[in-house]
């Protein structure tokens, strides 16, 4: 039985599972934190946030893998300015090993998917199952594995989100983003019993706007679903051109904006793994402080 099948079977055979962790019984060689970066609505900036998070964790010394889970519309390589290819097809057909398909930049590794592959489009492969099996085979090599998940509530997206240890739900102040994120949380709970997720507000303009999104979503989810949203923080909207956004967002500029993003990550790693796990990011953050001042 595939590891994915074992994990999915556990939901029908064990109704009393813990909501915030996987039920898959697989020997873990080293601790690895798996995070899905997701959202109920497309266009909320989840790919940029997933990339920035993975790069910051890698700079802090963590072995980090980012997997692009948009199987045939992969954008991560595009945002890094890398040439497109469909090497992922060769991984699926066992023509190339995992290591040859990876883009490796120090501690940061990227597994891009495909772009407009006719073969992948016409295949009947279960993409979520493939990704979960890749994770299960290689998680001992990494400290963090991040999934840039497809937006929405497709069966594939729900499965990948549920498999991870944590789900970062990216929300913008747009009403449809808030509503769709609520639907995502509702389906994750009803299908997989998940009652804890993380919230990040992206592209907010004022503190009042940020607080309104946080209050609306956290209280609604608590009152109607009895679920918990852990607030990661917010990423303020920056006034840069559409063409220059990725360059700014993914740069290493020691600006106040980038310093605040580092603080956000430091807060998460501190809670996720305690002071020891957060030490490298804390050192990185102090470097930001020194460079700014």
- For the segment 62-119, what is each residue's pLDDT rounded down to a tens digit? 999 999 998 767 788 888 888 778 788 888 878 889 999 899 999 999 998 877 676 7
Global pTM? 0.83
Cβ(80)–Cβ(110) under 8 Å? yes
Q: At what angle do helices 3-13 and 127-138 cross, to 10 degrees?
A: 110
pLDDT at 93 (0 to 100) = 77
Query: Within a domain: residue 223?
Result: yes
pLDDT category of residue 28 using cuts at 50, 70 and 90: very low
CA distance 139 to 226: 32
Query: Within a domain: residue 182?
Result: yes
Instruction: Give the helix ranges, DSSP H, for the chain.
Output: 3-13, 46-59, 76-79, 88-92, 98-101, 118-122, 127-138, 155-163, 175-192, 207-225, 245-249, 256-292
The number of distinct structural domains making up the chain is: 2
Question: Residue 83 has what DSSP assignment?
Answer: P
Neighbours of 129 (CB within 10 A): 18
Residues 130 and 264 in one domain: no
Cβ(131)–Cβ(156) under 8 Å? no
pLDDT at 166 (0 to 100) = 96
CA distance 251 to 268: 21
* Closest to 170 measured CA to CA, from 65, 36, 273: 36
Residues 213 and 264 in one domain: no
User: Residues near 95 by Cβ (< 8 Å), separated by ≥ 6?
Assistant: none
pLDDT tens column, 164-206: 999 999 999 999 999 999 999 999 999 999 999 999 999 999 9
Residues 109 and 76 in one domain: yes
Residue range of the domain that includes 33: 25-251
- pLDDT of 219 > 90? The answer is yes
Query: Within a domain: residue 110?
Result: yes
Query: Within a domain: residue 135?
Result: yes
């Amino acid at each position: 039985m595939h590891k994915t099948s074992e994990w999915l079977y556990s939901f029908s055979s064990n109704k009393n599972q813990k909501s915030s962790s996987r039920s898959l019984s697989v020997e873990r060689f080293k601790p690895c934190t798996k995070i899905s970066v997701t959202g109920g609505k497309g266009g909320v900036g989840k790919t940029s946030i997933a990339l920035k998070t993975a790069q910051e964790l890698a700079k802090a010394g963590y072995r980090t893998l980012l997997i692009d889970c948009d199987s045939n519309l992969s954008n991560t390589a595009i945002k890094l300015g890398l040439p497109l290819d469909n090497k992922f097809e060769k991984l699926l057909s066992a023509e190339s090993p995992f290591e040859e398909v990876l883009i490796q930049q120090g501690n940061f590794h990227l597994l891009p998917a495909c772009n407009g592959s006719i073969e992948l489009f016409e295949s009947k492969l279960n993409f979520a199952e493939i990704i979960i099996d890749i994770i299960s085979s290689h998680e001992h090599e990494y400290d963090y594995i991040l999934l840039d998940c497809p937006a929405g509530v497709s069966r594939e997206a729900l499965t990948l989100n549920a498999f991870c240890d944590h789900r970062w739900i990216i929300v913008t102040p747009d009403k449809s983003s808030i509503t769709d994120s609520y639907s995502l949380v509702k389906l994750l709970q009803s299908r997989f019993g998940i009652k804890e997720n993380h919230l990040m507000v992206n592209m907010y303009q004022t503190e009042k706007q940020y607080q309104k999104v946080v209050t609306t979503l956290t209280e609604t989810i608590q009152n109607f679903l009895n679920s918990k949203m852990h607030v990661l923080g917010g990423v303020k909207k920056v006034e840069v051109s559409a063409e220059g956004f990725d360059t700014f967002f993914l740069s290493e500029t020691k600006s106040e904006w980038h310093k605040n993003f580092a603080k956000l990550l430091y807060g998460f790693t501190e809670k996720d793994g305690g002071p020891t796990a957060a030490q490298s990011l804390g050192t990185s953050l102090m470097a930001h402080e020194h460079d700014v001042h």
